[in-house]
A and B are shown apart, each in its own frame.
Chain A
Amino acid sequence: MTATKPDLGTWVGKGIDRVDGPHKVTGSAPYSSDIALPGMLHAVVVTSTIPAGTVTKIDTSALLTLPGVRAVFTHENFPRLNAPPPVLFGEAPVAPMQDGRITFHGQEIAVVVADTPQEATEAARLIEVTYAAEPPLLDPAGGRLETLALSPDTSRGDTEAGWAAADVRVGATYTTPENTNNPLGLMGCVAAWDGDHLEIHDSTQGTNALRTTLAVMFGVPESGVRVHVPYLGGGFGAGLNQWPYKLLAAGAARELGRPVKLMLTRPQMFKLVGHRPSSEHQVRIGAARDGTLTMIEHRATCLSSIDFPAVGLLTSGTPHLYQCPNVATVERTVRLNRRYPTSMRAPGEAEGNWAIETAMDELAHELGMDPLELRLHNLATELDPATGKPWSSNAVIECCRVGAELFGWSRRDPRPSSMREGDLLIGWGMATAGFFAYMPMSQARVTVYADGTAAVRSAATDIGTGTYTIITQLTADLLGLHPQQVDFQLGDSDLPASAHSGGSGLASSLSNAVIDAVSHLQGALLDLAAEDSPLHGLGPDDVVCRDGALCRRDDLSVRVPIADLLAGQSLVEASGDGRLRPPDAAAAGMVHAGAYGARFVEVAIDPMIGRLRVRRVVSVTDGGRILNQKLARSQILGATVGGIGQALFEDTLTDPGTGRVANGTFGDYLVAVNADVPEIEAVFVGEPDRYTPSGTKGIGEIGLVGIAAAIGNAVFHATGRRLRDLPMTIDQLMM
């Protein structure tokens, strides 16, 4: 790493309000749904009503006579596209509407374009499609098991020997259902061509991957494709992939020579922008009588679609959280005639943690040991047990201890059903959590102006988590400015390239790119210093920017106004370009650690009617350096709500014979509402991570991990009944 440790502390960490807040609350922030261009037409997607087969006929002639209808695209007249290019964590599943083949119920088979969305919607409703249906593959038992690229099998030690050597053994099967990401913002885009140049306003989580995909698939230069996403109504992973709707809008716009807007409906959001696939986990854990783990075996499967595999990662955390000499993970998927899966907040970890942390609770019960003590006895805090190398940081023990103290865990009566209030059974449960470190490449440019203000530019996106604000705070500290003097421009693929908002990776990636850019900016400014300047001859790391001046780092009174440096060379601005420069981990001798957490939950259950209420949650997170306390806490609160939903409600149901989504509305697919959410105490512990200069860890997803298991473990404590299948609904809770 070239940059020296940055001087952070005036603004970084402070819980300042979102810098984009006023735009959002006044409605002036333009989302893709707000975009209207001159001459713009409106497109509506038509989806298949069978899960497998081919479209034999779509009669479009009648539709074209309807008022306002301009075109109907099917596989017969939609432009031929090139194959999707590989892009990081977000490729296009397929080139859509290239042939009449159908691989799932709800697949895009036609696009109706009209003057208004109402006209397009009505025409889409009247479309008549003839199919040649084929028997669908919908039963996982009939599918072929495949490996997943991101989830190789892992093994250390000898698990059978560890099983044989164990004094106490637990083994069970745990399941999680399909969940749908459901960002509040409906996804959609406006595509407009000018010759071979394409501009698209989209609700993507990553501008550059979409740019590359569009350029390759439409066979145009990447330099001529521009993606705009200044604001995004959430995503939870649904905005990562280059979904067919984007390609359909771009294709229709090119054919018609006019801008085309395509917004998905809420029911389509359940079908066309991915989901968290259902999973099954077979777990065996063995331990010595004192609680020392002797083996962990985690075998998991999830469902994939015919043309597009799941992300997996179900077993990704298992080798790393606990010291254990004998660990094996095996992960497979089954391809079925089902919708395209994708990442959903804490992909894989949320499911795998449910299985492992429930099994650990079962083990604690069998051992007659406090579940917290079992964790503290086995957590791998110094070295990564998979590699034997030291973590770059790991405060999971502190998470557990601080959480236990805040929760009052020591007052827990360990016997199931021992804590009662009238008719109610009270349960206390806990779980630990980890989330893998992921830090994709980002670039940024920092520019200073003669008036003392600065701009940061990057093609990154703010998914709603606060990217605008944290980078503004960071840059203010790096340049010695007030945040109001810093303008962060993002969401435009013409800006320096950036990773997506995903994998909890952007804050770390982008903050380190900005630190690097400021270092280069300091070098650029030094280049402007005349030979008689007091700064002449210093290196980039010998100076810092403060209040519009370039200063000696070790003597801030030696300073030259940036305006003077610029004027001396007849310049009006100076810039530094930076990128993430990850250290060579092997050389550094450490393992890049992700975030950690510990969750403590109290539930109250009326066993007669199966009514469960989560009464309080204490969520402690090791997030490395926290860039904004308020926004970081909001991430944990929101993820906790998502975890409550995963635990108790969320379940995308499909008709067994067709794979049709059976509950694809917000009235039928339940997410947690305010009344389901208790007081949540969210605190951060730990130190800045030493792997990168910014010291951050991603915290967008860790907050969800462990909530479901903590709730399930609390249910066991309350009732003595062990639930292993999510969601935990009333029919499972009637005693």
Chain B
Amino acid sequence: MRAFLYDRPTAVGEAVAAVAADPQAAFLAGGTTQVDLMKDGVWTPDRLVDITRLPLRGILVESQQLKVGALTTMEQLAAEPVVEQRLTFVREALLLGASVQLRNMATIGGNLLQRTRCRYFRDPTVSACNRRSPDSGCAAVDNVARMHAVLGVDERCIALHASDVAVPLIAVEASVLVDGPSGQRRIPLTEFWVRADEGPSIENVLGHGDLITEIDIPLLPQGWRSGYLKVRDRASYEFALTSAAVALQMDGDMIGDIRIALGGVGSVPWRAREAEEMLRGTHVDPVRFEQAGRAVMASAFTVPGTAFKVDLAVRTLSRQLLTMTEASR
């Protein structure tokens, strides 16, 4: 077997230093992505620094936000009562995002860093993968694409960011705290991921040795409601074809304010600002819902297998908006 070194430090500084000192080292948390990648032979670190003993677990509830330790599991975050009350769509996305077995292993920090499910990326016998190997091409574009992205992609890479919970998190403008070789910094999630069409081999702005220690999630103001709709081929245990995270505040029968993000469509979790702007301060109108969705999807890059996702994403957003505004129609 392929040998690797394994460390299990107990302090954040120690962990960061261990990875920073070795270009072939990587952090390991719940392992629900990374162990698969190692088994598939597409990721071959020489040193794993297991961070599960670091003091980064737990949720601190403040008046305006949650401070979530990066090692908090998906299940723990979903079970937090404030999440159910004030961040309903975060809870729904977590529960729809994975089986309970996975939710008990997977950490919230790791979820944000999950790698694409693209089978061409995950099969080392496929040589053409710009994400794995810069300038080698993209096998997915010419072959079987269904679970692939249509936004933030081009012919160089159509890899999807498949996280569910990242979709509502980007809608509420959560941010991450990062500890790294050059100290601590805060990165808004809106600036965290790098679109495939801006560089297929770079997935996010973290540098080697950077460690997410905390995710800060603003609570939705009182009077807001939120929901997450996930559309997928089977009823459970499957990634989204398309999803819509919507939070809104009604002002009579008008949409007072609104936040929208889409999943299953982007190389990064996709904030739908065009749609928000088209709908903010307007009456509930199914035609306008569809127009808002079309505006978001206008820049889609599709291949034969993903072409249907443009329409499906528009419909998914419309369905979720209709569901959430039903009382006002």
Contact = CB atoms under 8 A, between A and B. Distances in A.
Contact of A673 (B142, B231, B234): B234
A587 interface: no
Interface in B133-147: 139, 142-144, 147
B327 interface: no
A730 interface: yes
B144 A730 contact: no
Nearest to B122: A665
Q: Give the secondary structure class of B's interface.
A: loop
A731 interface: yes
Interface stretch (A428-436, A487-495, A656-664): A656-664
B178 to A, nearest CB: 29
A608 to B, nearest CB: 5
A674 B234 CA distance: 10
A231 B57 CA distance: 44
Contact of A49 (B119, B125, B235): B125
A154 interface: no
Interface in B225-242: 229, 231, 233-238, 241
Contacts of A676: 234-236
Interface in A73-121: 116, 118-119, 121
A649 interface: yes
B241 A730 contact: yes
Interface in A641-677: 648-649, 653-657, 660, 662-665, 667-668, 670, 672-676
A405 B237 CA distance: 35
B41 interface: yes
A118 B117 CA distance: 24
Contacts of B142: 657
B144 A611 contact: no
A221 interface: no
Interface string A575-590: 0000000000000000
B234 A663 contact: no
B311 interface: yes
A135 to B, nearest CB: 17
Interface centre among B142, B234, B312 (most CB of A within 10 A): B234
Interface stretch (B77-85, B87-95, B163-171, B313-321): B313-321
B1 interface: yes
B308 interface: yes
B233 A729 contact: yes
B308 A667 contact: no
B235 A662 contact: no
Interface string B236-274: 111001000000000000000000000000000000000
A122 interface: yes
A122 B238 contact: no
A657 B316 CA distance: 33
B1 A122 contact: yes
Contacts of A673: 234-237
B195 to A, nearest CB: 24
A132 interface: no
B41 A125 contact: yes
B139 A674 contact: no
A730 B233 contact: yes
Contacts of B318: 608
A21 interface: no
Contacts of B234: 648-649, 670, 672-673, 675-676
A537 interface: no
Given A609-B316, A655-B144, A668-B147, A649 B139 contact: no
Contact of A662 (B2, B143, B319): B143
A729 B305 CA distance: 12
Contacts of A377: none
Interface residues of B, number: 29
Contacts of A609: 229, 231, 312, 315-316, 319
Contacts of A613: 235
Chain A: interface size category: 35 or more
B1 A668 contact: no
A649 B146 CA distance: 13
A205 to B, nearest CB: 28
Nearest to B242: A609
Nearest to A668: B119
B274 to A, nearest CB: 21
A670 B238 contact: yes
Given A670-B234, A675-B235, A730-B241, A655 B308 contact: no
A610 B235 contact: no
A611 B143 contact: no
Contact of A655 (B1, B139, B316): B139
A734 interface: yes
Interface string A118-136: 1101100100000000000
Contacts of A734: 308, 311-312, 315
Given A49-B125, A668-B119, A668-B147, A608 B235 contact: no
B236 A674 contact: yes
A310 to B, nearest CB: 22
Interface in B3-42: 41
B1 A121 contact: yes
Nearest to A105: B125
Nearest to A123: B1
Contact of A657 (B143, B241, B315): B143
B312 A730 contact: yes
A611 B231 contact: yes
Interface in A582-603: none
Contacts of B143: 655-657, 662
A119 B315 CA distance: 50
Contacts of A675: 234-237
A67 to B, nearest CB: 9
B1 A670 contact: no
Contacts of B233: 648-649, 670, 729-730
Contacts of A611: 231
A610 B232 CA distance: 10
Interface string B291-309: 0000000000000000010
A663 B2 CA distance: 25
20 contacts: A49-B125, A116-B1, A606-B319, A609-B231, A609-B319, A613-B235, A649-B234, A653-B144, A660-B126, A662-B144, A664-B119, A665-B119, A668-B147, A673-B237, A730-B231, A730-B308, A730-B312, A734-B311, A734-B312, A734-B315
Interface of A: 49, 116, 118-119, 121-122, 125, 606, 608-611, 613, 648-649, 653-657, 660, 662-665, 667-668, 670, 672-676, 729-731, 734
Given A673-B237, A675-B234, 9 more contacts: A608-B315, A610-B315, A649-B234, A656-B143, A664-B119, A668-B119, A670-B238, A672-B234, A730-B312
Closest 4 CB pairs of A and B: A118-B1, A675-B235, A675-B236, A662-B144
Interface of B: 1-2, 41, 117, 119, 124-126, 139, 142-144, 147, 229, 231, 233-238, 241, 308, 311-312, 315-316, 318-319
